[in-house]
Amino acid sequence: MQLRSLAALLVVWCIAVPTFADQRNFEPSSDPALYALDRGAGNDGHLYTFDNLSVAQDPRAYRPDVGALDFVYHNHDEMTRYLRATTARYPNLTALYSIGKSAQGRDLWVLVVSASPYEHMLGKPDVKYIGNIHGNEAVGRELLLHLIQYLVSSYGSDPYIKWLLDNTRIHILPSLNPDGYAASKEGTCDGGQGRYNSRGFDLNRNFPDYFKQNNKRSQPETEAVKDWISKIQFVLSGSLHGGALVVSYPYDNTPNAIFHSYQSQPSLTPDDDVFKHLSLTYANNHGKMSRGVACKTASPSFENGITNGAAWYPLTGGMQDFNYVWHGCMEVTLEVSCCKFPPAYELRKYWDDNQMSLIKFLAEAHRGVQGFIMDPTGNPVERAQLKIKGRDIGFTTTKYGEFWRILLPGVYKLEVYADGFVPKDVDFMIVEQHPTLLNVTLQPSKRNDGSQHYRPAASTQYRPQQQIPPAPSQGSGSDEGILSTLSSGFNSLVNNIFG
């Protein structure tokens, strides 16, 4: 009886979430001044639009790329011209900005592909891909250029791509190490020529580390990334590498690592289930990766095409650990080619193998829980500290009170803390196909004199509770439910079923 009641609640809840057919298309602003949004000012000062959303559920076949981009390697000037030409041709779907410059002064270009390229879409996640962090690992660089071409050319004809761009802002940085790429040589599968930046630093060993102090001098490329992800709250990220065929997930380092060798012990995060799921999403949609075949006789093979980073080999200062620990962004490392810099005539094969994976992986940003943290007047609470109970890596709200967390189906408790407010715990449930929409209203804490005290966030041009109605009040101190359709008996029902 209890199971039937729970099923009924979930059916009502799923009906309340908009389906693919309910999505609205909206015309983004073309004001060039909005470039400042991503270049440094942060997500403020602009008009935002919000639509409820859900993940498109039906499997689909991906059509071949019919764009004009050739399967050749593009040097920095050629890449720059292509990115600029794409923004000129698709001004309502793309925006180009630089997060900084390399040690030798080359721009670190990022292209946004989205139905709202110039402005953050309220309630909808920002995601990113970064390629070519090692300059001689060149396949990822070209894959990202072809991904851009496929997304913009398919928006008008492919319902899945349209849904993805209508509901997600995709930031693509094709080359984090353009100086190293310039020093690399096509046809070189192994070796270190061009791996490092022009000052001789490995950029994927140059970030702050969770387990050990990283004493390596920070480089301009890594400083640019750190500044970038401190200003945009990315939910999901992939870093493209070469030299193996596997998805590696955090942690990359371990407190016990002394020797960097194969077959080390795994170093698992509190979100190990999520990272394995994300990694399998990429590997299982790849043409070959999930087979777990070793690139060379002396190289390890990887079961199902995935591995924990530290279990493969520990490293200090990796970018994926930094994204996760410092900013709550789920990043994995995508090793997409056995040969680091294969001949250009092989690029089409790599694109065919990775095209579906690159797209399906990004859609995983819509899995889990998302919503707003607000004060009693409906204003957003900026930088509220959030944590899923039992998962010690926290995350924060944006300037507009938004939050996202990728989670697998189950029952969870969200812990919310913010300066000037009473802490709050909220129980919620994740189901398979729909994101859980969860709004939380924090009550101001009281001073010793009995007066209420809280620091309201800056006023904005929206009232999020008008977009996602909060659950009906259940009395002072009660948890707010997932949606208004869930009854007040939800928590006791879950406890009875799941213990």
Long-range residue pairs from 2-6, CB within 8 A, at least 24 positions apart, any chain = 2/493, 2/496, 2/497, 3/497, 5/493, 6/493, 6/494, 6/497
Q: Which residues pair with 241 in a beta bridge?
A: 335
Copy the structure tokens of residue 171: 């930031």
CB-based burial of residue 161 (10 Å sphere; 0-12 exposed, 13-18 middle, 19+ buried)?
buried
Strand partners, 109: 98
Tell me which of 221, 331, 335, 402 is the catalytic residue.
Answer: 335
Buried/exposed code over 448-469 (b: 16+ C-beta within 10 A; e: otherwise): eeeeeebeebeebebebeebbe
Q: Tell me 150's DSSP state.
A: H
- Measure the CA–CA gap between 387 and 320, rounded to whole angstroms: 19
CB 185, CB 193: distance < 8 Å: yes
DSSP, res 316: S
Selection from 363, 357, 366 nearest residue 140 by Cα: 357
What's the CA angle centered on 104, arms 103 and 108, to 5 degrees? 70
Known catalytic membership, residue 335: yes
Whether the CB-CB separation of 126 and 232 falls below 8 Å is answered with yes
Q: Helix or strand or coil: residue 232?
A: coil
Map tokens 């380092």 to a residue: 253
Give the end-to-end CA distance of the chain in Å, rounded to a whole number.
Answer: 16
Q: How far is CA 489 from CA 4, 427, 431, 476, 484, in A?
A: 14, 12, 18, 16, 13
Cis peptide before 181 (omega within 30 of 0): no
Catalytically annotated residues: 335
